[in-house]
């Protein structure tokens, strides 16, 4: 048999095999740093880095609200892993469980379902567990059926299409109830994901409404529901209060100390007793660690994060490492005893750097470094030209904060290529009018052809001809939530 493209002769085992689970912030940056340090060994086949990830790209999540608003194209919010990690093996799949005693991970790949051969085992010497987090949901009736998440680029673009589609429905219907439900947008959770997504989409929808002959901006009803007494805790209490005032000034109904009790049949019921129909319910009420962690047999905290040392090693376990949203890392910069680093990108990127250094140090038999970082602050965008920031204890708001937000994220988005493309898009957006079309039909690209070819429409088959509304179909308040699109 011929050697593979990296020069490894068949049957020869690399001296060190690193398995990275997840291609997000931690996964990509850890693999990138290891790749730089081990380049010669990777090319000669003496070392191997395998990255297992469900998508072939890393998502720059802080740009999702702007992608939803149409200020940045979806493909510029993601970083292609195969291009960045040229000397690593990128496997598109999901780790199902890990047997760390045997140093093996069980992986289902895209091909698993096709060839019917079942999951594959990937052997490793060092494992980096970076599967991040998933939406933290509650058993609210109707949430699973009608709620829309906001963690992936598919969800952000699906939500954009859905919001614009609601304006089209409201404009076309003669039923005032359908119109009210279409023009009511409810966001649950006042963290930066929820607040930024709501603020950007409200801004975009208000702008889009000027192109509808029968919709006024004041017809749109936006509601932010937050269980605690404040929003955006990351920017501090004073700035949080400022954001509440700013959103209310835009006619956004901010309801603090309020919970979503039910959204069955698209009727939203809140803990303050109010009840109203809404066709859009976005759930951004926090995250919980990836469920994969429970299938690793490694020590977890009560909240399900991997118990780690400050050196980012899984506590009491050799050759297993973690960081980011999946890991409970002691916060050495906090005076509070037992504090853990918060699940955010600031920590994830910096932890990935220390994590890669520590793997290299451990391979070389050198001492490990502890992770320590004091947050420099937080920035949030509240729509075009509006923002809020807390930088080294200084509060900034309005246009300057929005500029800081843009500059900060432009400096942070990975690769020069992405930075240039994002900057070009922002510049073009400043020169031309905003895009206001919904490309919701991208979600079912075969529907038109299936109808033309006379396929039997099957409403139960996603993407089938029957999945798409036909002329004469009225908008139904019972329609399901949007699915993902590219």
Ligand X SMILES: Cc1cc2nc3c(=O)[nH]c(=O)nc-3n(C[C@H](O)[C@H](O)[C@H](O)COP(=O)(O)OP(=O)(O)OC[C@H]3O[C@@H](n4cnc5c(N)ncnc54)[C@H](O)[C@@H]3O)c2cc1C
- Contacting residues toward ligand X, per CB under 6 A: 21-27, 52-55, 61-62, 64, 94-95, 130-132, 150-151, 192-193, 290, 292, 324-326, 343-346, 348
Phi, psi angles (nearest 5°) of residue 331: -90, 95
Going by C-alpha positions, the residue among 12, 34, 25 that lies closest to residue 126 is 34
Closest CB to ligand X among residues 55, 264: 55
DSSP reduced 3-state for 313:
strand
Which residues lie below 8 Å from residue 17, measured CB to CB, with a gap of 6+?
47, 48, 50, 123, 124, 125, 126
Q: How does DSSP assign 370-393, residue by residue? A: PP-----EEEEE-STT-EEEEETT
Give the other-Cβ count within 10 Å of 411's Cβ.
Answer: 8
Closest CB to ligand X among residues 43, 97: 97
Give the shortest CB-81-to-ligand X separation in angstroms: 9
Cα torsion 440, 445, 447, 451: sign: positive
Give the shortest CB-83-to-ligand X separation in angstroms: 16
Give the shortest CB-231-to-ligand X separation in angstroms: 14
Give the shortest CB-253-to-ligand X separation in angstroms: 21
Over the Cα atoms of the chain, what is R_g? 24
Q: Which residue is nearest to ligand X (CB)?
A: 24
Closest CB to ligand X among residues 189, 475: 189
Which residues lie below 8 Å from residue 92, measured CB to CB, with a gap of 6+?
53, 54, 55, 56, 109, 110
Closest CB to ligand X among residues 387, 466: 387
Closest CB to ligand X among residues 52, 167: 52
Give the shortest CB-449-to-ligand X separation in angstroms: 31
Give the shortest CB-69-to-ligand X separation in angstroms: 12
d(CA 234, CA 129): 26
Closest CB to ligand X among residues 292, 384: 292
């Amino acid at each position: 048999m011929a050697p593979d493209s990296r020069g490894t002769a068949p049957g020869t085992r690399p001296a060190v095999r690193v398995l990275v689970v997840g291609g997000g912030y931690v996964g990509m940056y850890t693999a990138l740093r290891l790749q730089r340090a081990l380049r010669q060994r990777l090319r000669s086949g003496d070392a191997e880095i395998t990255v297992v990830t469900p998508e072939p790209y890393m998502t720059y999540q802080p740009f999702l609200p702007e992608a939803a608003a149409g200020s940045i194209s979806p493909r510029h919010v993601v970083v292609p892993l195969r291009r960045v990690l040229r000397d690593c093996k990128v496997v598109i799949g999901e780790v199902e469980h890990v047997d760390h005693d045997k140093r093996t991970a069980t992986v289902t790949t895209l091909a698993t379902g096709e060839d019917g051969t079942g999951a594959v085992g990937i052997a490793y010497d060092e494992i980096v567990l970076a599967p991040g987090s998933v939406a933290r949901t509650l058993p609210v009736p109707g949430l699973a059926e009608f709620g829309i998440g906001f963690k992936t680029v598919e969800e952000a673009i699906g939500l954009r299409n859905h919001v614009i589609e609601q304006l089209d429905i409201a404009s076309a219907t003669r039923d005032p109830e359908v119109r009210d439900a279409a023009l009511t947008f409810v966001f649950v959770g006042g963290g930066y994901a929820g607040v930024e997504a709501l603020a950007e989409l409200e801004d975009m929808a208000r702008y889009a409404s000027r192109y509808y002959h029968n919709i006024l901006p004041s017809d749109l009803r936006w509601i932010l529901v937050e269980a605690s007494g404040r929003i955006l805790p990351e920017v501090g209490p004073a700035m949080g209060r400022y954001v509440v005032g700013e959103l209310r000034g835009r006619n956004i109904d901010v309801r603090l100390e309020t919970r979503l009790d039910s959204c069955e049949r698209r009727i939203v019921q809140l803990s303050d007793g109010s009840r109203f129909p809404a066709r859009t319910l976005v759930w951004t009420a926090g995250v919980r660690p990836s469920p994969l962690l429970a299938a690793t047999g490694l020590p977890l905290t009560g909240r399900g994060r991997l118990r780690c040392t400050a050196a980012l090693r899984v506590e009491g376990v050799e050759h297993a490492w973690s960081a980011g949203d999946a890991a409970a890392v002691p916060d050495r910069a906090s005076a509070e005893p037992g504090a853990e680093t918060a699940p955010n990108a600031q920590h994830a990127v910096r932890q990935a750097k220390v994590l890669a250094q520590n793997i290299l140090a451990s391979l070389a038999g050198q001492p490990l470094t502890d992770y320590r970082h004091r947050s420099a602050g937080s920035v949030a965008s509240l729509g075009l030209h509006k923002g809020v920031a807390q930088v080294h204890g200084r509060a900034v708001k309005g246009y300057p904060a929005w500029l800081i937000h843009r500059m900060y994220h432009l400096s942070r988005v990975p690769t020069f290529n992405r930075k240039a493309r994002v900057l070009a898009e922002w510049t073009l957006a400043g020169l031309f009018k905003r895009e206001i079309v919904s490309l919701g039909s991208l979600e079912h690209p075969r529907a038109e052809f299936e109808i033309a070819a006379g396929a039997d429409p099957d409403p139960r088959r996603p993407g089938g001809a029957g999945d798409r509304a036909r002329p004469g179909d009225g908008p139904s308040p019972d329609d399901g939530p949007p699915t993902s699109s590219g």
